[in-house]
Structure 1
Amino acid sequence: MTSRISTSRVALLSANPADANPYVALLRAGLASAGIEATLLDNPEADGLPEAARRADIVHLHWLELWGRPPYHSLQHLNRWGLPGRGVRRWLEPALNSPGRFETWRARFLDRFFAALAQYKADGGRLVYTLHNWGQHEGEHERTEQAALDRFLGLVDAVHVHAEYIVPELQARLPKAASPVIRVIPHGNYIGVYPNTISRSEARRDLGITNDSFACLFFGLIRPYKGLEELLPAFAQLADPHALLLIACLSWQRDFARQLAVIFA
């Protein structure tokens, strides 16, 4: 068995870039404060397991459903090429993620990735997975992603979830021969990550919100899985005359945004 370099060396694999979601960067900082060396790796490479990860004691994967997806693999160098990432991405992703291309590419990638992970474990490494989602947010390629998750759960040594209610469903999902350690650690907040240079009273004044209003905020990306089309009817049922719904969003899916515009008109 290959000896590991250090009992506290962790490789964090995440295809979700830190500028899009600071979760893994914050995790790395937290591990560092506890004296644990952690390296953040976002390039799957040919078989999904970067060379730096092979030398770590623990490989901690995030978002299996994103790891090695064609859009991430094919578009990860846009900034290095000096191309407008968001505009080019909107144009290329539909073709890169077409069902036929995706299924073929993804199956080959996952076979290589799981073989590399099995060898990593045979050499003494340990695998940890944070279960952020059961699959793609919009249910894309569900059969492929569910099969991949089942295979991966059969390999991992530990699974981290963010809430207790997930545990029974996860236990029911595990392959019969699998017995990973399951730990519940609540999702941290992002306070302090993003600049906050305005006071509550100033924000209300700028937005025209009175002090006696009870403001409800929907903030973030507009995506079908979030149930935004159900929000307005639910909010309309409130009898509070001081209730105010504020929606501050960005949409990458223009067709869905247009559907919402009709509902909210």
Structure 2
Amino acid sequence: MRPIRVLLSVRESATKINPFVTLLVDALRQDGRVEVEFFSWPAAFSGRYDVFHIHWPEAITRGPSRFQRAASLVLSSLLLLRLRLTRTGIVRTAHNLNPHESGWPGERQILHAYDRATAEWITMNRHTPVPAHGRRSVIPHGHYRDRYHVSSPASGSSRTLLYFGLVRSYKGVDTLATAFSDAVDLDEYRLRILGKPDPSGISPELRRLIEDDPRIEPDFRYIPDDILATAIVDSRLVVLPYRAMHNSGAVLLALSLHTPVLVPDNPITRDLREEFGSEVVKLFPDELTSDSLSSAVAELAEAGFAPINMDSRDWNTIADSHVDVYRRANSW
């Protein structure tokens, strides 16, 4: 039986900024039952593939200029027509509930058309909604231990709290900085903020807090993998104060490197707490406060440390589950 040919909706350049893409592709290629190709418009229209696997669909409907955005919308519509005419199976991984940024007029209609044409949906948790006509497969987000290598687990004596990732307004970094500055029990701690901001990410309040509190140490740039891994391992707690959290690769990265996390309380993070334990997955209700932050740190100081088991997030198992989905998508 020949391998199933799969065209991903992500370009190869995504491997430089998104480790999830690299880890998934590597696992699928090592499996041997799938041939994976990255997206390009020539490959999409003239390539031979059995399944089109969509990740972050807005990536193919947008572009850096007005002309490229308009062209991408037209090409996306034509591609959907090609997929229908050739009866190519469409698989969609639902990473987010909605795109992080709004798109052009007409984009929503095109994305809805792709949704209607998708028969196989992959969600990373059991709470992500999918269209009633689609078949759901829950395939969890894999661990990062094959990409980020560290010599030892995090130290229980660290006095560093860490936020890492893109600095966007919805991620609540200004709320974290406020809570940290107001937490009198954390005078001996420092807060590191690592990540490249978008235009909305650094609010006037965040700038003021950074200027007023020397314990807040920002590094507003893209952080190389080795530096990021070291920063996570050297931290007592990773704090992700998102105002809305769904799937989060940052949570899995911190846990992969044996570092506890503090995240908002919702059904998905409660599942993570049940999976990995309340000792390493700490939850805060509503918006992060200084009391919530102080309580999480105090609980860590009282608890013993044990390495975090990530067997449930093994990439070989994840690849095997993807192959099953591709076979179903290619069978109609």
TM bracket, shorter-chain basis: 0.5 to 0.7
1:127 to partner: Cα distance: 0.7
**Match of residue 108, structure 2, among 130, 134, 146:** 146
- Alpha-carbon RMSD: 3.2
Tell which deviates more after alignment, 255-264 or 182-191.
255-264
SS of residue in 2 equivalent to 1:233: helix
Aligned to 1:20: 17
Kindly indicate whether structure 1 or structure 2 has the higher relative contact order, using CA contacts under 8 Å at least 6 residues apart: 2
Q: Does 1:59 align with 2:5?
A: no
| Contact 1:135/1:145, CA 8 A, preserved across alignment | no
Q: CA deviation at 1:66?
A: 1.4
Cα separation, 1, equivalents of 2:88 and 2:184: 57
How does the TM-score come out when normalised to structure 1? 0.65
Specify whether residues 156 and 255 from structure 1 end up closer, same or farther in structure 2 by C-alpha distance, changes over 3 A only: closer
Distance 1:68 1:143 in 2: 11
- Distance, in Å, in 2 between the alignment partners of 1:140 and 1:124 is 30
Contact 2:60 2:76 in 1 (8 A): no
- Residues 106-163 of structure 1: per-residue CA shift (max 9 Å, x gap): 45533432332332233232011112224432x3327544333212101112111212
Between the aligned residues of both structures, percent identity stands at 25
Alignment map for 1:1-265 (pairs within 5 Å):
6=2, 8-15=4-11, 17-45=14-42, 49-52=44-47, 55-71=48-64, 96=65, 101=66, 106=69, 108-137=71-100, 139-141=101-103, 144-167=106-129, 170-171=130-131, 179-196=133-150, 200-201=154-155, 211=157, 213=159, 215-235=160-180, 240-241=185-186, 244=189, 246-253=191-198, 256-257=201-202, 259=204, 260-264=206-210, 265=212
How many residue pairs match? The answer is: 209
SS in 1 for 2:91: strand
Cα deviation code 1:161-200 (max 9, x no counterpart): 2121112xx33xx6xxxx2212221111222313536764
- Cα shift at 1:14: 0.3
CA contact (8 A) 1:13 1:40 kept: no
Q: Which runs of 5+ in 1 are unaligned?
A: 72-95, 202-209
SS of 1:182 mapped into structure 2: strand
Tell me the distance in 1 between the aligned counterparts of 2:184 and 2:142: 33
Change (3 A) 1:212 1:196: closer
Kept in 2, the 8 Å contact 1:64–1:149? The answer is: yes
TM-score normalized by the length of structure 2: 0.53
Q: Secondary structure at the match of 2:195?
A: strand
**Conserved 8 A contact 2:52-2:91:** yes
Flag structure 2 segments of 5+ consecutive residues without an equivalent.
213-332
2: CA distance, partners of 1:243 / 1:24: 38
Distance in 1, Cα, partners of 2:40 & 2:153: 39
Within 2, Cα distance between the matches of 1:225 and 1:142? 20
Query: Helix, strand or coil for the counterpart of 1:115?
Result: helix
Question: What one-letter code is carried by the residue in structure 1 that aligns with 2:9?
Answer: L
